[in-house]
Structure 1
Amino acid sequence: MSPHTAPSVDLEELRSLMAVTFELEAEEITDDAHFTQDLGMDSLITLEIATRLENRYGIAVTDDELKEISTLVGVHELVRQKLGAA
């Protein structure tokens, strides 16, 4: 995929979405903060993230996909890939 056709997903918008989900300040959702180890992600938060991503971006995200991702950068890449495949 060329840079001209890559879907645009704003990292800061995604950070804000994650902050609301984790009930934290956006500054606490650093690019490399580990969702489980640093931010306390559990199965309920995983489901909420999937729902928020589906509502915001119109993509289907499974719990298994989210369990494989541990950082904001990983979620950003997943959303970009999903939007590119849509």
Structure 2
Amino acid sequence: MSIDARARLDREELRTLLAETIDTDASEVGDDTDFVEELGVDSLMALEVVVVLERAYGVKFGEQEMRSVRTLRSAYDEVLRKLDERS
């Protein structure tokens, strides 16, 4: 992973962004907290999470990638991978 990509992606900022998007407190968004199973995020809100990530970081998710973004860790890893691909 490039240093530039890591510098552009702060885990705590991402946690806050995700929490705001799903309308919950950032303390509820643990690294491996499943948005759907544990926080009750429905499919429409899950899509909104992906759209917010795409806009915030200037990346695009494919359909399969969208389905994989269910935790802070998976969101961080996917966005970081996409940012690194562009570097």
1:16–1:26 Cα contact (<8 Å) kept? yes
2:35–2:71 Cα contact (<8 Å) kept? yes
Rate the CA distance shift 1:43–1:76 in 2: closer, same or farther, 3 A.
same
1:54–1:60 Cα contact (<8 Å) kept? yes
Higher mean alpha-carbon deviation, 26-35 vs 66-75, is at 66-75
Residue 58 of structure 1 and its aligned partner are, at CA, apart by 0.3
Pairing 1:1-86 to 2, within 5 Å after superposition: 1=1, 5-6=2-3, 7-8=5-6, 9-86=9-86
Count matched residues. 83
2:50–2:69 Cα contact (<8 Å) kept? no
Work out the CA distance in 2 between the residues paired with 1:41 and 1:62.
20
Which amino acid is 1:22 matched to? I
Specify every segment of 5 or more residues in structure 2 that has no aligned partner in the other structure, as ranges: none
Work out the CA distance in 2 between the residues paired with 1:29 and 1:56.
18
Specify every segment of 5 or more residues in structure 1 that has no aligned partner in the other structure, as ranges: none
Structure 1 segments of 4 or more deviating over 6 A? Answer: none
Q: Percent identity?
A: 37
Work out the CA distance in 2 between the residues paired with 1:64 and 1:25.
27
Residue 63 of structure 1 and its aligned partner are, at CA, apart by 4.3
Which amino acid is 1:39 matched to? L
Higher mean alpha-carbon deviation, 71-80 vs 34-43, is at 34-43
- CA RMSD between the two structures: 1.4
